[in-house]
Structure 1
Amino acid sequence: MDSTTPTTGRPAVNGLAPTSGRLRVDGATLHYEVRGSGPLVLLIPGGTGGAASFDAVADRLAADYTVASYDPRGLTRSPLDDPDAPQRVEQHAEDAYRLLELLSPDAPARVAGCSSGAITALHLLAAHPDRVQKVVAHEPPLVEVLSDAPEHRALLIRVQDTLQREGLMPAAAIFAAGLQAEPTSPEPPAGLQAKPTSPEPLADTNASRTTPTPAPAEGPRAGSASPAPEPGAGARAGRPAPSTPSAAPVEAGGLPAEAAARVERTMGDMPYFLGRIVPSFMGYVPDLDRLQALSERLVLAGGVESRGEVPYRPAAVMAERFGTELVHFPGGHTGLSTHPDEFGALLAELLR
C-alpha cells in the first residue's frame, strides 16, 4: 500500500543537499527529507515544527549518517485523508516504522525524538525492537507515569474544554501554565542526574525557524507567549487545536520566502497539535516493563534548564525505574532550537 515519490530538496546547507519525498501510509501521506550517507538516523519531531525543526542537527549528523526527518501525519505537508481522524501514538509509531522499512530495510536504525516525537520513538522501540538499534528520547511528556497523573488528566480536560468554548489562545495559556515546575515538584534522585553542562545560550542558527516553547511534544512553553494561528489556516478542516510544545510567534515580515512559509505552517498547525495530539499523546500509557527490558538501547534525556517541569519529569521517573542514567541536554524543553550546536554534538555522541 505504501508508495514513495521523491522530489527535489531545498538548497544545500553546509554543502549537504537534502532531498525530499512523499510516503503513502495508512490514512495519510508523509513528507520526509533525507541527507547524508551511512547508517540511518531517523529524527522524530515534536510539536508543530516538523522536519524543519531538526535542520541544523540533521546537517551536522549527515557527515556520518543518512539522516531522515519528516512531518508527522496531520501537519501541513503530511495531510490526513480524513482531517477529523483521531490520532493515536501507535499509528504515529507505525508511520516511523514504515520510514525505517523504506530507508533502511536491511539494518536497524538509530532513532531520536523530542517531546511528542519522543513518545512516538518509545512506542516504536517497544513495538519493533528488531528495527531499532538505539533510541534517544528527549523529554517525552508521559504524564501517566507520574505519581500526580490525575492532576495532569484534569489539566488536559480543562485545556480541551477551554479550546472548545473560548478558542486557541486561552486554551494555550492554560496549557502552558500547567507545564511549569511547581515548587513541590519531585526532583529525580541526585545519583541519577548526569553531570549537567551549562553552555552559553546561542542564537538559533536556523533563521527560518521560530523560537519554540515547551510542552508535551514541542508546544507552548510554560510562561512563554502562545502563538496565534494563521487566520483560517489552523482551523482548516475544522480541526481542534494541537497538543505538544510549539513555537512562539515570530514576525514573518522581512523573512525569506521559505522562512515565512515555515512560520505559516507552524502557526497553522497549532490547533491540530493542541486539540488532537496533546490529549492523545499525553494520555498514552507506555509499557514500562517492555521498555525496561529494552533499556540497554534507550537513552532517556531532559533539558538542563527544565528540571521539575512537567515534560522533564517522566524521563527522570523512567530512568530511576530502569536503573539508567538520565542524560542532560543543553537548554530546556526546546534545547533543540535554542542550542542547536551543543544539542547536535551531544546527540551525535549518544548515537554512536
Structure 2
Amino acid sequence: MTDESGCVRLPVEAVHDLAFRVLRHAGMSEPHARAIADVVTAGQRDDCQSHGLYRLLIITHTLRQGTVSGTATPVVHDRTPAVVAVDACSAFSPLAFEVGSRHLAEKARTVGIAALAINNCYHFSALWPEIETLTAQGLAAMAMTPSHAWVTPFGGGTRPTFGTNPMAFGWPRPDRFPYVFDFATSAAARGEIELHRRAGRPIPPGWGVDHAGHPTTDPDAVINGGSMLTFGGHKGSALSTMIELLAGPLIGDLTSLDSLERDGGAGGTPFHGELVIAFSPALLGLGDTQGDTQRAERLFDAIVDQGARLPSQRRFAARERSLKEGVPIPLDLYHEVKALLD
C-alpha cells in the first residue's frame, strides 16, 4: 500500500529486515549485514533519503566490483590509554565502528578524551549514527572522514581535489535528543546531487560546476566530468583540507585523491579512514556536572526561544513520525531495493 505521497510505509523493524536480507543475499556476513542494516534503517527512519535504503544500491554495486570484503573481521589495535585503532580489513566501516566505539567510550570515560582511528574501510554512511552512539553514553564526540576527490578547492581551483569531507559533532542532553550536527564541507552531499539527478530535477546554484568550471544547475554535468563546490567559499575549503589531513595522513590513511585513484573509475564506495574523538564532560569539567549541564541547556534555550532551529530537529521530528506512522519509502526506490533480492 502507498500513501498520498506515493510512498510505501513500513514499520522500522520491517525496513531493517529488508535491508538485512538484501545484504545477506549479496554475500555479506551476518555481523556486517546487521551493522549496515542498522545504519541505512536509521537514515530512512529519519528521512535522510540520501543515506537510507538508497545506499543499498551503491553498497551492492561496490560488492560486485570484488574489492570490498563483506566478511572480514575488524582487527582492534589498543595503542595507548587514549588511542584505539581498528583495521576494517577492506570492509565497510559500520562494523569496525561498532567494535571500536566500545573501546573508545571506555577510554574516554577513563582518561577524559580518546581517539578512534578506523583504517582501510569503505565508508558510505552519515556520521550522526556514530555520534549518537557516543552521546547516548553521556559523551561529547566529533567524527570526520574524507571520501573520493569530487570537490574543487576555492580560490581558482579547477580540478576535483577534496572529498565531500563530512564532519559531525554531538553533545549529550539528559532525557532528550542530543545536540548533533553532521554536514559535508561541500555545498551539498554527493548523494543529494545524485537524488536530484535520479528525479530529473536541477540542483540549486552554487552546488557545482561543469567540466569547464562553469557554474551549472545540471546534476549530470556535475557528476559526469564536473566538480562539486565547498560551502562558505574559503572557509569550507580550509575545513575540507583539515579533514583530509586529520582523517588521512594523521591516522596513516588515504586522502580523497588517493581514494578516487584507487577506485580506478569503477564507481565504488570511497576507501580511506575515519577519525572519531570522544570527550568526557565529567572528567574534563571542574566537577560541577549539574552546573555545566544547565549552562549548556541555557545556550540551547537561547537559540530556540528566539525562533531559531537546532541542527537535527527536522530529523528527530521525522524519527518520531516514523515510529508512530511507519517509515516512508518512495515507491520506485522500494521496488529497486526489492529487486536486489532477485
Relative to the length of structure 2, the TM-score reads 0.29
> Which one has a bigger Cα radius of gyration?
2
More RCO (CA 8 Å, sep 6+) = 2
- From the two aligned structures, give the one with the greater helix fraction: 2
